[in-house]
Amino acid sequence: MQFFGGSEISPSPPVPTASGNNAHMMYVFNRNGVCLLYKEWNRPLHTLNPQQDHKLMFGLLFSLKSLTAKMDPVNADKGNLGVPQLPGQGCSFHSFRTNTYKLSFMETPSGIKIILVTHPKTGDLREALKYIYSLYVEYVVKNPIYCPGSPIKSELFNTALDQYVRSIS
């Protein structure tokens, strides 16, 4: 995108977006592919309905993971393309970047997938995603009225998450 073309030359801190926040959107999926949470901060463009959107994101991660493992030049532990892997099996990717956004991804051995889409110049978010996972544990898993596997409806979690994500640069 031309808009960011100029900033490539001089090393400057990440350009803050209009809301003063680098995050575009976030997804949390569980091991069964259920979208437990979708949140957006800055997403002017919606081309799909939410169900299609979630499905596409889950499919993208699924295919990309199997692709990255298949292309692994050093590790023998690779499955066949398209054959399901165990969560954590083979190598995995943790982010990719396009000219308009960066997608950071974390998957826990229990199959929780956390996806954060941010400004393309955002730094390494692996620690940030781990922190978000710990928020999930504290406020979602430990909420007595939360039923595991159901969509997250927790004000405490939403507030803590929102506050943290807005602080990511």
Indicate whether 17 belongs to the interface with other proteins (CB under 8 A): no
Per CB under 8 A, the segment of 11-19, 52-60, 97-105, 114-122 that binds other proteins is 52-60
Indicate whether 87 belongs to the interface with other proteins (CB under 8 A): yes
Indicate whether 155 belongs to the interface with other proteins (CB under 8 A): yes
Rounded CA separation 107/94 (Å): 9
Indicate whether 138 belongs to the interface with other proteins (CB under 8 A): yes
Q: Please say whether the beta carbons of 62 and 43 come within 8 A.
A: no
88 to each of 44, 109, 111, 127, how far by Cα in Å? 33, 6, 8, 17
What single-letter amino acid sits at 54?
H
Per CB under 8 A, the segment of 2-10, 18-26, 38-46, 57-65 that binds other proteins is 57-65
Q: Please say whether the beta carbons of 38 and 57 come within 8 A.
A: no
**Shortest gap between Cβ of 54 and other proteins (angstroms)?**
9
- Angle among Cα 113, 119, 125 to the nearest 5 degrees reads 45
Rounded CA separation 69/72 (Å): 5
Indicate whether 67 belongs to the interface with other proteins (CB under 8 A): no
Pick one of 14, 33, 120, 123: the residue that binds other proteins (CB under 8 A): 33
Provide the 3-class DSSP secondary structure of residue 139: helix
Indicate whether 123 belongs to the interface with other proteins (CB under 8 A): no
DSSP-assigned letters across all residues of 43-60:
-----S-HHHHHHHHHHH
Indicate whether 38 belongs to the interface with other proteins (CB under 8 A): no
Q: Which is nearer to other proteins, 43 or 100 (CB)?
A: 43
Q: Which residues bind other proteins (CB under 8 A)?
A: 31-33, 55, 58-59, 62, 83-89, 108-112, 130, 133-134, 136-139, 141-145, 148, 153-158
